[in-house]
Chains A and B, each alone.
Chain A
Amino acid sequence: MLQNIGVNQFKMEDLKPGMFVSFEQVLTEERVQAFAELTGDYSPLHVSREYAETTSFGNNVVHGMLIGGLFSRVVGVLLPGQRALLNAMDLKFQKPIFVGNTVTISAKIISVSQAARVITLNLLALVEGEIGACAKASVTVRE
């Protein structure tokens, strides 16, 4: 069951550069399996322990876009929340994140354009203090 962390309802005028949110999630085998079923990405690197152990990774790697999905969660639920409309996301994967890892997802507003009703966010996925993935997101804040 997904942890219900509430949905924020920030309005455009509430949003300021520097606003910051974060949460943690354990990337269990069940979650990765569910993502594979949802998307059809059954690459054995993600879902087959037997196969993963034969690779240099040694363990199942979490889908990169699952992390992207967690970034989407931050935007759509936390910052700004309900009024968010994701315009673009520039996502980079820096280090593999493995099944069983606890990932800390954080987002910080780095710019606000009141005129365009758009905010830009820096998004980070940290595992044991290291950057697993990062992204820059452009988000429209609906009225």
Chain B
Amino acid sequence: MKTQSDRIGYPEDLKIALITGATGTVGYAITKALAQNGWKMGIQYQKNKSKAEELISILKASGTEAVALRGDLALKDTAAELVESMKKTVGAPFLLVHAASPQATTSSFLNRPDDLEKMFQVNVAAFFSLFAAILPDMLRTQTGTVIAILSEAITAPLIPNWQSYTVSKSALAQAVNEIDASYRDAGIRAFSLLLGAVRESTPKENGVPASHRQAIRKRWPMGLAPSQIGEAIIKIINDSTIPSGTALSISGKNEFRKGRFIGWVEEKNDSAVLASEKVEKPSESGIELELRKMICRMFGVAPSYPVEKASAGNLDGWDSLGHMRLIMEIESLFGITFTSEEASILTSFQGIAEAIARHRKNGNTHSYETRAHLGV
């Protein structure tokens, strides 16, 4: 059940984020976006000390509290140590963005099994270890978000011999699903963010054949500006109407995929707009149809019942309690917030349909997803 009031956001004292791989193009952009939105930061890096120091300087110059955390996520104990260090400085994190990953070089798991092990350790095991270390504080406050940075490469095996990378990222996607299933009821949200080719980040001549680079460019011709990724992260965090467990795909293309991929970000004027906001809202007749189905379902009447003549008092079950439930369902499904005064007079099908149409016409609706559009 969602209402406009579900845009809870984060309490100020819990806006503390841990970003892994923060010195990479993606992690760097995410870190800067979070800093601009008032987050304290722990930035993990492995090798690029100068880049980490540069990032810390930028953050501190802008008034952001931040700490650099050096550690190799390929080592088993690193995750817990990083979180402990962070707790002693900026505080326990309530947001984890896992952007770290070994470089996606060509490696078949047949001829380079060590690569596979390392990919799994960094992409999957370290993610779970980090989550385990930050979970107690998240549970204690019923507040937390984890976001795994994945690649659209896992949706289609377009790049031969990227198995170690794509298989481990697929496992990471499932890790997000598992966390969502286990902890959604505790107020912890988990997301996957699938990226297409990112500008300034395309694999160069470090073991990636030209044919692979061509395949990448062909598949994702527009490329993503890193800033778009930062914007998408902010959107995910701040809009709690986006269901936990969602996998969002940023490709610069307008594609809708099945299964758990229910949204995308279009490249539009260099700003990221979650496509769930661009889903075609129901037409006038669509509103009445949805409303009709809702009333039939809620009050247990057959589809043939003349719902358009229904009103409180002439429909069994549409009493004060039934009316309250109906108002809440309508608010949730149509993304509307009624006032108390409005709700008290919306006692007929026609009146409700007109009120919904009026709110839509006045633009008084918020981001929402209808079951009809999502198929969930």
Which residues in A have some Cβ–Cβ distance to B below 8 Å? 16-18, 20, 22, 87, 92, 104, 106, 108, 110-118, 120, 122, 124, 126, 129-131, 134, 136, 138, 140
Q: Is the interface of A mostly helix, strand, loop or mixed?
A: strand
The CA of A75 and the CA of B321, in the complex, are separated in Å by 19
Which residues in B have some Cβ–Cβ distance to A below 8 Å? 1-3, 5-9, 11, 135-136, 139-143, 183, 185-187, 321, 324-325, 327-328, 331, 337-340, 342-343
By a CB distance below 8 angstroms, the chain B residues around A87 are 321
- The answer to whether A111 touches B6 (Cβ under 8 A) is yes
- The answer to whether B185 touches A114 (Cβ under 8 A) is no
- The answer to whether A122 touches B340 (Cβ under 8 A) is no
- The answer to whether A113 touches B5 (Cβ under 8 A) is yes
- The answer to whether B8 touches A131 (Cβ under 8 A) is no
By a CB distance below 8 angstroms, the chain A residues around B338 are 114-115
Q: Which residue of A lies closest to B344 (CB)?
A: A115
- The answer to whether A124 touches B324 (Cβ under 8 A) is no
Q: Which residue of A lies closest to B342 (CB)?
A: A115
- The answer to whether A115 touches B141 (Cβ under 8 A) is no
By a CB distance below 8 angstroms, the chain B residues around A138 are 1
Contacting B185 at CB < 8 Å: which of A18, A111, A120, A136? Answer: A136
Given contacts A113-B5, A116-B327, could you give 11 more A-B pairs where the C-beta distance is less than 8 Å? A17-B7, A18-B9, A22-B140, A111-B6, A114-B338, A115-B339, A116-B328, A116-B343, A131-B183, A134-B186, A140-B324
Q: How far is the CB of A29 from chain B (nearest CB, A)?
A: 26
- The answer to whether B324 touches A117 (Cβ under 8 A) is yes
Q: Can you list 17 A-B pairs, Cβ within 8 angstroms, ordered by A?
A: A17-B5, A18-B9, A22-B140, A87-B321, A92-B185, A106-B142, A113-B5, A115-B331, A115-B339, A116-B331, A117-B340, A120-B1, A124-B142, A124-B185, A126-B139, A129-B139, A131-B186
- The answer to whether B337 touches A114 (Cβ under 8 A) is yes
- The answer to whether A116 touches B139 (Cβ under 8 A) is no
Question: In the complex where A115-B338, A116-B343, A136-B185 touch, is A129 in contact with B136 (Cβ < 8 A)?
Answer: yes
Contacting B5 at CB < 8 Å: which of A22, A106, A112, A134? Answer: A112
By a CB distance below 8 angstroms, the chain A residues around B6 are 17, 110-111
The CA of A116 and the CA of B186, in the complex, are separated in Å by 25
Q: How far is the CB of B313 from chain A (nearest CB, A)?
A: 18
Q: Which residue of B lies closest to A16 (CB)?
A: B5
Q: How far is the CB of B116 from chain A (nearest CB, A)?
A: 32
The CA of A106 and the CA of B9, in the complex, are separated in Å by 18
- The answer to whether A20 touches B142 (Cβ under 8 A) is yes
Q: Which residue of A lies closest to B336 (CB)?
A: A115
